[in-house]
Amino acid sequence: MTRADMQAHPTPRRIGGRTALAGVIGWPVAHSRSPLMHNFWLAQYGIDGAYVPLPVRPGAFDVAVRGLQAAGFRGTNVTIPHKEAAFRIVDRLDRSARRSGSVNTLVFAPDGAIEGYSTDGDGFVANVEAHGIAVTGGRALLLGAGGAARAIAASLLDRGVAVTIANRTAARAHELADAMRADAEAGAMVDVAPWDGLGTVLPGCGMLVNTTSVGMHGGPPGDLPVDLALATPALVVCDIVYVPRQTALLRTAAARGLRCVDGLGMLIHQARLGFRKWFGTDPVIGPEVEALLDADLRGEES
């Protein structure tokens, strides 16, 4: 058979009774880049496995998870709107999930238990560190008070970074701060700033983290209430949005010469733990997978 014949008639991927299965549960879930990323790693390491999107309607989560477990899946990622349901269904909750109050990774253990992990916070930190930035000490200004904000706040506090939380709805910021203070290790390292009064806070921060959807493609209109002219030259500006990779916040920060960290690396780094748990290999975060995802995202933006 010639090369042209092989390209015209590629060898089908073999999925058999021993193929390790995992996936991502969400509603909707067609937009998820996790299948692209995990299946790239499976091919890269020659692992007999498959990772699939699993669209599950609200209200059907528990039934779906028990069915996947019974069918021999190794586990799943969990995305909107099922993270609270995932937190409730687990038998064993990892410290990462307890600290963040959320679960984005389920592992079906050999003893029949369902284990729950949160990888968002450590994925965020790993991404920042991959940019050559030490995450230790100092203070971070965290914009937003949702699930991602809680996971990131917990991981920053674990590394000795004090956290100031600001959210458009002040009550949610105070709820998150109280939840973080419930851990004796956090103590006085958490405080709250008013959404419209960040000018007095930013000069004392070494890191700014946007966890809101402001700046996301198709997200809410408007700007973040942050004047980067007030920042010190050492400020690191992070945005967990990755569509587009260069948000308005990051463009403004780059124009002022500030160090910037976009959200694509967080997506990649948070996926490592699940892949390791399900498929037995710790994938190396190399430029190939980032290039693959970046090209796919650019296709969506166009």
Tens of pLDDT, residue by residue over 105-146, are 999 999 999 999 999 999 999 999 999 999 999 999 999 998
Task: In the chain, count H helices and then E strands.
Answer: 12, 12
What are the residue numbers of the active site?
A: 83
Tokens of 205: 């921060």
Of the pLDDT bands very low, low, confident and very high (cuts 50, 70, 90), residue 50 is very high
CB neighbour burial string for 221-233, b if at least 16 within 10 angstroms, e if fewer: eeebebebeebee
| Residues 82 and 62: beta-carbon distance below 8 Å | no
Q: Which pTM does this prediction carry? A: 0.88
Q: What is the pLDDT of residues 78-113, one digit of tens each?
A: 998 898 899 999 999 999 898 888 899 999 999 999
Is the pLDDT at 184 greater than 70? The verdict is no
Residue 74 confidence (pLDDT): 98
Domains of the chain with bracketed CATH: 3-118 (3.40.50.10860), 121-263 (3.40.50.720)
Q: Give the mean pLDDT of 238-252.
A: 94
- Phi-psi map region of 157: left, alpha, beta (phi>0 left; psi -120 to 50 alpha): alpha
Q: 141, exposed or middle or buried, with CB in 10 Å at 0-12, 13-18, 19+?
A: buried
